[in-house]
Amino acid sequence: MICRWPVVTATAVGLFTLAVPLSAQTTASLELGGSIVQYDGFLSSGAVYGTPMLRLDGRAYSVAVQGSYLLFESGNRILQGTTAGAWLTPRLGPVRGELSASAGVTGYEDYPSYGHVLGRGKLHLIGEGIGAWVAGATGSSFFGSIWDAATELSLGAWAASPEFGGGVTLTHSRLLDTTFTDVVAGGRWRTAVGELDGSLGIRTSAVGSGGGVYGDIGARFRLSSRFAILASGGRYPADPVRGVLAASYASLGLRFDFVPTRRTPLASLSTALSRVVPAAADRGGSAAAALTLQPSSGGFALLQVSAPGAARVEVMGEFTDWEPLTLARTRPGTFEILLRLAPGSYRLNVRLDGGPWIVPTGARAEADDFGQTVGIVLVQ
C-alpha cells in the first residue's frame, strides 16, 4: 500500500511541473470540518476532516490535486489523495474534445490501499446555454497488489444559466465481473450569497455492486473573499472502480481560500453534480428582470427591461440624477425607454412594481458604497 503513494505524488508533481502556466488561474484552499457518516453495514461514526486542494485552470486545461485526512471517533484514520488533469482541444464549430487522466489512492490503517488510474476521452457538443457530451474511460483499479481493468462509458446533457442549471448523465461502469449503470439528475441554484445544489441518482442493471436510489444536497455560502461555509448531506453509492463504499453522511465545513475570490466557492474537485451541470458565471444580477442596452442613432440608446409578470418597471441611475423613471410598457413583460447616453459606463438600479431596487440580469452587479448593490452597464 505504501508503495502507491510515491506513484501518485510523482504523478501530481509531474502534472504541475508540466502545466504550471504563466497566466493560470490558481485556486488553493483548505477545508476543515466534521462529518457524521454511516457506511453500509457499519455503525455511524463522527469524524473530523481536513481537505487541502490546489487547482490550476489555464487556457485549455485544468490540473488539480486534492488530499483528505479523516479522523474517526474510534481513532482510526483515512488518508486519501487524488490528482487529475484535463486538456481541451481547440473548438471546431460546436464540438470540442477533452482528454483527461486521474489517479487516486486511499489508505486506511493497515489495510491494503485502494486506488485507480483512469484515462478519459470526452466529446462536447456546446450550444447557447445548453450542451451534451459522450465519454469513454479506461484504466485500472487496484486493491493492494491486485490490479483489475476498469472501463466507463457515459453520456450527458445539460442546460445552464447564471442562476439555474440542470442536467442528466448516464454512466455504465465495469470492473471485472462487476457492472452497473447509473442515471443521475442534478440541479443548481446560485444566488448572490451562495449556491444550492442537489442530485438524485438510481443504479440499475447492477451485477455484483448492489443497486438503489441515492442523492445528496449541498449548500455553499461565502462569508468573505476568503471564507465560505459548506454543508452537504445525503447518500452516495458504492464505486468499485475507485474503492468507495456506499454511505450516508452529513458534513459541515469551513473553507479558506488562499487566493481571495468573489465567486461562490466551487467544490474542491469536480463532483457527480458538476459532471452533470457545469458551473456558471455569477454576475450577481437578479433573474426577475433582464436588461439590454442597444445603441441607437443620434447618441441615444434604447434601454429595455424584460420582466415577465411585472406591471410597472422603473429605473434610476446616473442618467436620471438617481430619480426613479418609469419605463414605457411596449408589450406584456417588456419595458423600454430611449436615453441620450455618451459612450461609457453607467450605474443603475431597476425596480419592479414598487419593490426593492435590484440589479437586473445583463448588468454587472457590484457592491456600492452604501451597503447595497448597483448595476454597471456599458454604452458603446
Partner 1 sequence: MRLRPAIIVMTLAVAGSSWAEAQEPRLVGRLPADARLHVDAILDSARSLGLPIEPLVDRALEGASKQASGERIVTAVRRLAGELQIARDALGSRSTSNEVTAGASALRAGATGDDLARLRRLRTDRSLAIAAAVLADLVAVGVPADTAVAAVLALAEFAQDAEYLALRDNVERDVALGASPISALGVRVEANAPQGDFGATSSRPPARKP
Cell, residue 356: 426593492
- Least spacing, CB of residue 248 vs partner 1, in Å: 10
Longest Cα separation, the chain:
78
- Which of 200-208, 306-314, 332-340, 367-375 is the region at the interface with partner 1 (rule: CB under 8 A)? 367-375
Q: Which of residues 3-22 bind partner 1 (CB under 8 A)?
A: none
> Using the 8-state DSSP alphabet, how is residue 92 labeled?
B
Binder of partner 1 out of 19, 28, 126, 196 (CB under 8 A)? 126
| Helical segments of 156-290, H only | 272-276
Q: How many residues does the chain have?
A: 380
Q: Which of residues 306-345 bind partner 1 (CB under 8 A)?
A: 316, 318, 321-323, 342-345
**CB proximity list for 213: less than 8 A, separation 6 or greater:** 200, 201, 202, 203
Query: Does the footprint of partner 1 cover residue 85 (CB under 8 A)?
Result: yes
Q: How would DSSP label each residue in 56-123?
A: EE-SSEEEEEEEEEEEETTS-EEEEEEEEEEEEPPPBTTEEEEEEEEEEEEEETTSPPEEEEEEEEEE
- Which of 101-109, 174-182, 204-212, 306-314 is the region at the interface with partner 1 (rule: CB under 8 A)? 101-109
Q: Tell me how far CA of residue 185 lies from CA of 198, 202, 253, in angstroms.
A: 9, 9, 25
Cell, residue 127: 450550444
User: CA-CA distance, 69 to 189, in Å (whole number)?
Assistant: 30
- Return the number of the residue (181 or 243) whose C-beta is nearest partner 1: 243
- Least spacing, CB of residue 374 vs partner 1, in Å: 7
C-alpha closest to that of 93 among 115, 123, 135, 63 = 123
User: CA-CA distance, 190 to 162, in Å (whole number)?
Assistant: 7
- Looking at the DSSP assignment, which residues form a beta bridge with residue 166? 159, 187
Binder of partner 1 out of 245, 287, 288, 338 (CB under 8 A)? 245
User: CA-CA distance, 264 to 220, in Å (whole number)?
Assistant: 7
- Return the number of the residue (160 or 337) whose C-beta is nearest partner 1: 160
Q: Which of residues 246-305 bind partner 1 (CB under 8 A)?
A: 247, 249, 251-253, 261-263, 267-272, 274-275, 278-281, 283-284
Query: Does the footprint of partner 1 cover residue 142 (CB under 8 A)?
Result: no
Assess contact for 150 and 116: CB atoms under 8 A.
yes
Binder of partner 1 out of 236, 303, 314, 359 (CB under 8 A)? 236
Burial of 206 (0-12, 13-18, 19+ CB in 10 A): middle
DSSP-derived pairing of the beta strands 334-340 and 114-126: unpaired
Query: Does the footprint of partner 1 cover residue 225 (CB under 8 A)?
Result: no
Binder of partner 1 out of 100, 141, 178, 181 (CB under 8 A)? 100
> Using the 8-state DSSP alphabet, how is residue 266 labeled?
P
Q: Which of residues 166-205 bind partner 1 (CB under 8 A)?
A: none
Assess contact for 259 and 343: CB atoms under 8 A.
no
SS3 60: coil
Say how many residues touch partner 1, by CB under 8 A.
117
- Least spacing, CB of residue 370 vs partner 1, in Å: 4
Binder of partner 1 out of 5, 72, 143, 147 (CB under 8 A)? 72
Query: Does the footprint of partner 1 cover residue 155 (CB under 8 A)?
Result: no
Q: Which of residues 37-56 bind partner 1 (CB under 8 A)?
A: 37, 39, 41-43, 45, 47, 49, 51, 53
Query: Does the footprint of partner 1 cover residue 351 (CB under 8 A)?
Result: no
Binder of partner 1 out of 16, 28, 57, 210 (CB under 8 A)? 57
- Least spacing, CB of residue 172 vs partner 1, in Å: 15
Binder of partner 1 out of 5, 16, 108, 143 (CB under 8 A)? 108
- Return the number of the residue (247 or 327) whose C-beta is nearest partner 1: 247
Tell me the helices (H) and strands (E) count for the chain, helix number first: 2, 25
- Return the number of the residue (309 or 344) whose C-beta is nearest partner 1: 344
